[in-house]
Amino acid sequence: MRRNKKTLFYIMVLLSFILIVFPAFSSTSSFFPNQKIVRIAIIRQTWDPLDVAASGAASNYMHAICLREGEKRYNVKFRIYDFWDSWNGGDVQNDLLFKKKIDVVIAPGGFGGWYTPEKYREKIRRFVFLGGGFYGICGDSTFGSMGVKHLHNRYIKLLNRLLGYEGFSPMLGLANVYTDISDLLEIIGIPLFFTKLDMIKILASLPISRAPIRILPTNPPIQKPYFKQKIRVMLGNAPMVNGPLIKRLYMPRVITLAVFAGCDKPYTRSIEGKKAIIATTYGRGRVVLSAVHAELTLFNQKAHDIYVRNVLWLANALPLKK
């Protein structure tokens, strides 16, 4: 009798353990093979003043919130890595993209991508070419592009002076688009009178900005739930425009996922109709460039889902139904 009671006791303990542990495994872990793990590296640079500021940490927090929302919706597990590089070395330059088996690089914005060491650019290009995903947001949409259009010499000198850079380095050239800097130059006005304080005022106005983007029907249908809808998002970089015609002969097709359907300060109506988000391929990898901050648009689930769907498509983990 005592032995039976002892056996029953151990059975109850085991059942209690299973009831506690099993739900945790089923919802958050990789114990079950049907839950895909997507490894994400958010890349930052020590020479970018926006990355080293407190706003960089706040941005990482918002990325994490959006991705946690996406885990529940799409039955995936995101593992987020914070990668830092200095001019002479760092995580990207030391091949951690491969060593950590990263699926998607998120370049979250700022000006660091406009002035980079050659080794840094080579490592990212190789990562994407061999099958990785690259998500360039705000200023890093320029980093992933062919460069900037309509940037005159006097403005180059101004930006270098404000940022403390020696000059602009080549961009990654992952997508055949340019950033149309003319829309940004309208805000700057006469470069002689534009100061760091003016630049801070412009940057400070972006988090409260909201402008509608129109989601376009595309194939692949990356943003299918939102086709033909207008979604209000936080503004960031100047819009994108088509790259050189000659490059269309040998570079992959650029898919316009969204265009600007309105404007808000600090921009003017000149941005309307231009590219807000694009997608393309590079080698075996995938690329999304976004001039806007869907992930930083507070209290907007649709904007957050647009961001998550882009990440999943980059990782080849988005369930697509044409």
Predicted local confidence at residue 13, as pLDDT = 45
DSSP state, 219?
Answer: S
**Model pTM above 0.85:** yes
Tokens of 217: 């029907």
Predicted local confidence at residue 33, as pLDDT = 54
Rg over alpha carbons for the chain, rounded to the nearest Å, is 22
The full DSSP string for 245-305 is GGGGGTSPPPEEEEEE----TT--GGGTTSEEEEEEEETTEEEEEESSBSTT-TT-HHHHH
Q: What is the pLDDT of residues 168-187, one digit of tens each?
A: 899 999 999 999 988 888 88
Task: Return the residue matching tokens 């800097």.
Answer: 181
CA distance 143 to 137: 9
Nearby residues of 238 by Cβ (< 8 Å), 6 or more positions away = 179, 180, 181, 182, 183, 184, 267, 271, 291
Predicted local confidence at residue 32, as pLDDT = 47
| pLDDT beneath 70, residues of the chain | 1-33, 54, 321-322
Predicted local confidence at residue 4, as pLDDT = 53
Q: What is the pLDDT of residues 82-127, one digit of tens each?
A: 999 999 999 999 999 999 999 999 999 999 999 999 999 999 999 9
Question: Could you give all domains of the chain from N- to C-terminal order, each with its CATH number?
Answer: 37-314 (3.40.50.880)
> What's the distance, Cα to Cα, between the start and end of the chain in Å?
64
Predicted local confidence at residue 133, as pLDDT = 98
Predicted local confidence at residue 3, as pLDDT = 52
